[in-house]
Amino acid sequence: MQRSRYLTSIRRVVVKIGSRVLTDGAGRPDPAFFAAMGNQTAALLRKGVQVVLVSSGAIASGRSLLRETRRDLSIPEKQALAAVGQSHLMGMYQQALQPHGARTAQVLLTREDLTQRRRYLNVRNTFLKLLQMGTLPIVNENDTVAVEEIKFGDNDNLSALVAILVDADLLVLLTDAPGLCAWSEDRGYEPRPLPFIDRVTPAIRNLARGSSGPLGTGGMTTKLEAARIAAQAGMPAVIAHGRHADVLARILQGQQIGTFFAPLRERLPHRKHWIAYTLPRRGELVLDAGAVQAIVKKGKSLLPSGVVAVHGPFRGGVMVSCVDGSGRERARGVTHYSSKEIERIAGKKTSQIEQILGYRIQDEVIHRDELVVLKDEAENED
């Protein structure tokens, strides 16, 4: 019953599929899995539920086709494998969905596509049009061009960002584990997952100790982080075993399968979603207690008088974290002042900005329209 109230009006779902779910024991794409996933997604589409798949597997597919067994590959070698494997991966999805009359669309992304506002909006508009046309977008990181500084790092993180981008009602992370399971030093993992999580506490984070294995780049830690991002953005998420029969239908029916993460808040305006969960953090501002109270409890802007310390360097116009005296992150926002400028005006009154800097960009270090307060996940509430 806990889940059901969050699943009453699901119209758009983002489903992330990991490499270890879609491959067989030899690391090759498994036709049986693709057929099963084609049946499941087609069933959702017939019910009017829009689906976006975020699928790993391009590099694994390339490895299989080229019979590459080495693990210590360079970035260019991985990019070459992805170029070979991506078309094969898409072909398998198309083959699985063709009997159902479903059309697929390939969408390859890099972080730069989402961190630049104009490109972000272009990508969003493309997704919305594809969904409106009744197609099934299949998303992957663009491994053929991505390098370390622009990589998402894992498709779990990418799936959470895509879910926010398209205003999804639910994020489903399919893995080769039954969900987030209890763990202890003495007994290791318990076979039964935690069914419902209402907030990601430090104790919950400690449970995510799994490794990704040779095929993936994630693990339970990155899946937990993706679920946390979704919950913070006001969206429920589920981590479940991708090989369970009819796993997607069972999740949407509210059955006790996998681990369900409840949303922590109402949905944010779309621009605030983008600021808090898509832009990379470039620095940190330490705030005094009065400033924390003003922005968290009263919805105020951040003024220079409330800044105690600056951790940079960063330029103006980037996203920074706002932390309290204990180092706990309380908000994120876009500042129009650089770290050097903020260091000079920190602790000062707004009326002193122009006198100190010789100019004034704005009265606030971060205006409330560009500031997102993070929901409290601490075990002990203030």
Per-residue pLDDT tens over the stretch 245-281:
999 999 999 999 999 999 987 888 888 989 998 899 9
317: left (phi over 0), alpha (psi -120 to 50) or beta: left
- Give the pLDDT confidence score for residue 190 in this predicted structure: 67
Residue 209: band (very low, low, confident or very high) from pLDDT cuts 50, 70, 90: low
pLDDT(206) > 60: yes
| 379, pLDDT greater than 60 | no
**Which of 340, 346, 343 minimizes the C-alpha distance to 305?**
346
Q: What is the pLDDT of residue 376?
A: 66
3-state DSSP assignment of residue 255: coil
Q: Which of 122-126, 214-218, 295-299, 354-358 has the least mean pLDDT?
A: 214-218
User: Above pLDDT 90, what percent of the chain?
Assistant: 66
| Reported confidence tier of residue 307, pLDDT bands at 50, 70, 90 | very high
Q: Is 207 helix (H, G, I), strand (E, B) or coil?
A: coil
Residue 74 has pLDDT above 70, yes or no: yes
Q: Which of 45-49, 102-106, 213-217 has the lowest mean pLDDT?
A: 213-217
Region label for 246, one of left (φ > 0), alpha (ψ between -120 and 50) or beta (otherwise):
left
306: exposed, middle or buried (C-beta count within 10 Å: 0-12, 13-18, 19+)? Answer: buried
SS3 315: coil
- Per-residue confidence (pLDDT) for residue 377, from 0 to 100: 59
Q: What is the mean pLDDT of the chain?
A: 89
pLDDT of residue 188 exceeding 70 = no
* Long-range CB contacts for residues 66-74, cutoff 8 Å, separation at least 24: 71/214
Q: Average pLDDT for residues 14-34, to the nearest whole number?
A: 91
What is the pLDDT averaged over residues 15-40? 92
Q: Does the pLDDT of residue 218 top 60, yes or no? A: no
> Counting every residue, how long is the chain?
382
How many Cβ atoms are within 10 Å of 135's Cβ, its own excluded? 18
Q: Where are the alpha helices (DSSP H) in 166-283?
A: 202-205, 220-232, 247-252, 270-277
> Residue 112 contacts by C-beta under 8 Å, 6 or more apart in sequence?
119, 150
Is the pLDDT confidence value at 183 over 70? Answer: no
| Backbone torsion region of residue 70, taken as left when φ is above 0, otherwise alpha when ψ lies between -120 and 50, otherwise beta | beta
Does residue 304 have a pLDDT over 90? yes
Q: What is the CA radius of gyration of the chain?
A: 22
> Quick check: 22 pLDDT over 70?
yes
pLDDT: which is higher, 75 or 62: 62
Q: Which domains does the chain have, with CATH numbers?
A: 4-269 (3.40.1160.10), 280-373 (2.30.130.10)
Look at residue 162 and tell me whether its pLDDT is greater than 70.
yes
- Which DSSP symbol is given to 302? B
Q: Is residue 346 predicted with pLDDT exceeding 50?
A: yes
- Bond into 313 cis (ω within 30): yes
- Closest to 331 (Cα-Cα) out of 289, 363, 376, 362: 376
Q: For the chain, what percent of residues have pLDDT higher than 70?
A: 91
C-alpha to C-alpha distances, 185 to 119, 209, 212, nearest whole angstrom: 46, 11, 19
Q: What is the C-alpha to C-alpha distance for residues 223 and 237, in angstroms, rounded to an integer?
A: 10
Task: List the one residue out of 382, 205, 169 whose CA is nearest residue 373.
Answer: 382
Give me the residues paired with residue 53 across strands: 15, 138
Give the per-residue pLDDT at 77. Answer: 87
Contact indicator for 339, 303 with CB cutoff of 8 Å: no
Instruction: Decide if pLDDT at 380 tops 60.
Output: no
Structure tokens at 120: 């972000």
* pLDDT reading at 215 higher than 50: no
Please state, in angstroms and rounded to a whole number, the distance separating the CA atoms of residues 284 and 366: 12
The pLDDT-based confidence of 243 (bands split at 50, 70, 90) is very high
Beta-sheet pairing, 307-311 with 281-287: antiparallel
Angle at 88 between CA 84 and CA 90, to 5 degrees: 120
In the predicted model, what is the mean pLDDT of residues 288-317?
96
Who has greater pLDDT, 211 or 28? 28
* ∠ Cα 26 73 213 (to 5°): 45
pTM of the predicted protein model? 0.86
Q: Is 19 left (phi over 0), alpha (psi -120 to 50) or beta?
A: alpha
Question: What are the DSSP calls for 137-163, one per residue?
Answer: EEEEE-TTT--GGG--SSHHHHHHHHH
Banded pLDDT at 146 (limits 50, 70, 90): low
Q: Using 50, 70 and 90 to split pLDDT, how confident is the model at 79?
A: confident
CA angle 201, 230, 6 (to 5 degrees): 95
Strands 135-141 and 50-55 turn out to be parallel
Of residues 214 and 206, more confidently modeled: 206
- Could you give the 3-state DSSP secondary structure of residue 10? coil
